[in-house]
Amino acid sequence: MFKAISPLDGRYAEKLDPLRDFFSEFALMKMRVITEIRFIKAMDELRCFAPLTADELHRLDKIETAFDESDYLEIKEIEKTTNHDVKSCEIYLQRHAGLREPNRIHFGLTSEDVNNLSYTFLLKAYRDSVQLPQLKELLLLLCDYTEKWAGTVFPARTHGQMASPTTYGKETAVFLNRLFRQYKHLGEFVFRGKINGATGNYSAFIAASPQIDWQEFARQFMENYNLALNPVTTQIEDHDSWAEYFEITRLINQILLDLDKDTWLYLMMGYLILASVKEEVGSSTMPHKVNPINFENSEGNLKISNALLSALTEHLTNSRLQRDLSDSTVARNMGTALGHSYLAVSETLKGMKKISVNSEFCLQQISEYPELLAEPIQTILRKAGHSDPYGFMKDLTRGRRLTMKDIHKALETLNIDPDLKHDLKSLRPENYVGIAPKLARVTAEEIRDYFRENEQ
């Protein structure tokens, strides 16, 4: 690992271990073998060949479950001669499956039937067993923070300037809501696949066994693995569903990037506090520093991931005529793109677990800006029928730093009901948060309910 070219297999190798079962060359070769076996078993029901015996089925099951490094290395050795990865898997199976009729292996298939399904099986498995659980962990942490700080008054900034106050729980709920929407979209997404031969017409299948409805066979095969059939393709599956999956992931990355940047800025302004880890060093020369490195690492990895995901989407959805081989090289970078995303989410999680709200400082900041009351005062005066409440408050506050005394003095000049004047004087910027606490709590509760219901 110390001579790795990619940081994913170098500096970050240990952190990326969970992804090796999905995006390594070993994982892809193993899945090709499994895909061939799944096809053999599915086709056995059609009786194109003599039924598989119990011993044959046992040997196929054993290959699928016991596939290890020695099997992988054997296939790679075969590939030195064939210079074709899928064909090497076919030869490997012919050697080890011990089938009475070995011609059933890879029957009617083109290599892209195996490849599109192998990659899709791996992407789906990664999404279900790693990506969604990781995002769920982040969502539940954001639920905790949304509830914990639902009523914690927090400065708001629009265009970088002080704006009507909010609560930190509600601002966390914004990201919680956005991420949850894409989490559901990701979980409900159905990948597509194809298994229709050299140019997508089932030609070899029909030539050998015209009595079989091969399109229905393909449809059923996909449904058995919770995939959808792509009914019309060239030699390759068009990869549009991969692109759709990458786009969902890319949007999740964008939302996380927004969260990282906001959190970084809140830390810079002192609204949030970052817990220090005793053994860590923030600077080689400035001992006092506690740096928001997790959010910065996440930001960098998100940008790399999105650049690669965009490149994958742009290239994989194009193919010259019935096919060209450039997609094969590009597809091998799926793991790199998703690896950077996985690493980014991990870093965001670590960073978020270290933060707390500097509530006293936040209250102090808000109380120092009584001009934030310009919005509620002018809105209340509108309802009371004042001739130009916006202009009145604009002249009083815009570009000026005021005190509550200044505002009360201006209110005294208004010819309005004394009770209304009293109510206006009672306003305080730190209490002007609307239903922010409710919005936060309701958002968190709805998401917790979703997870409770879907765990049953």
Please list the active-site residues.
159, 283
Element (H, E) at 154: strand 153-158
Tokens 């070899």 — which residue? 204
Residue 135 CA to its chain's centroid (Å): 7
Of 220, 189, 207, the C-alpha closest to 108 is 207
Radius of gyration (Cα) for the chain, nearest Å?
30
End-to-end CA distance of the chain: 42
Angstrom distances, CA of residue 454 to CA of 144, 185, 249, 441, 451? 19, 15, 22, 20, 5
**Are the C-beta atoms of residues 181 and 394 closer than 8 Å to each other?**
no
Report the 10 Å Cβ neighbour count for 43.
21
Cα gap 269→178, rounded to integer Å:
24
Residues 6 or more apart in contact with residue 448 via CB below 8 angstroms: 140, 143
Residues forming beta bridges with residue 161, ordered by sequence position: 158
Angstrom distances, CA of residue 415 to CA of 387, 412, 421, 425? 11, 8, 9, 14
Backbone phi, then psi, for 291, in 5-degree steps?
A: -90, 145
Backbone phi, then psi, for 356, in 5-degree steps?
A: -145, 160
Cα gap 41→57, rounded to integer Å:
8
Backbone phi, then psi, for 201, in 5-degree steps?
A: -115, 10
Cα gap 190→36, rounded to integer Å:
22
Q: Are strands 272-274 and 228-229 parallel, antiparallel or unpaired?
A: unpaired
- Amino acid identity for residue 93 in this structure: L
Backbone phi, then psi, for 163, in 5-degree steps?
A: -135, 180
Tokens 């070995």 — which residue? 102
Which of the 8 DSSP states describes residue 127? I
